[in-house]
Amino acid sequence: MEFFEIQFLVRWLHVLSGIMWIGLLWYFNFVQTPMMGKIPAEQKGAITGFIAPEALFWFRWAALSTIVFGLLLAHMNGYMTETLSLGAGSGNPGFTLLGIGMWFGLIMAANVWFIIWPNQKKVLGMVKASADEKAKAAKMAGQASRINTLLSIPMLFAMVSFQNPVY
């Protein structure tokens, strides 16, 4: 396989992973979370016992694969340093835009793995926690998830802008 074919494959896997990650993020924030208060108590177990754990599995691994493929792509294209330094000294505003998107993605992935997932395990009963601990965990996971939703918009803008320069 030629280098450009591998590069295309890595880009495709990065985009595909990102679609899954952001799609699930928006599902949690725009569909599942708002609807939980409307679901009868006897039916919530289907969400918390089956749907949420499965969706969170795909959510966290999509986040990780998006980051891994994105960093690999930046390395393969030779602009890892320029983007992670936000284009400092490069004279290329595209590297600043892409770097902003990359840093937002890294922050979002850290939120997924180190804030959302550990707290969701408490909320879903995968980790033993008191009712107060569960309530605190739900609030913390929810806040991190909403932050990720807000960051996803400028992150996507920055990533797309790099590929379609208007600067």
Q: How confident is the model at residue 5 (pLDDT cuts 50, 70, 90)?
A: very high
pTM of the model: 0.90
Per-residue pLDDT reduced to its tens digit, 35-44 = 999 999 999 8
Question: In this predicted structure, what is the pLDDT of residue 162?
Answer: 84
Task: Determine the Cα–Cα distance for residues 21 and 8; give it in Å rounded to an integer.
Answer: 20
CA angle, corner 161, sides to 98 and 27, nearest 5?
85
Q: Helix, strand, coil shares of the chain as percentages rounded to 5?
A: 85, 0, 15
CA 132 to chain centre: 27
| Percent with pLDDT over 70 in the chain | 99
Give the chain's mean pLDDT.
Answer: 94
Query: Would you list the domain boundaries of the chain?
Result: 3-163
Question: How many CB atoms are closer than 10 A to CB 41?
Answer: 6
| 89 pLDDT tier (thresholds 50, 70, 90) | confident
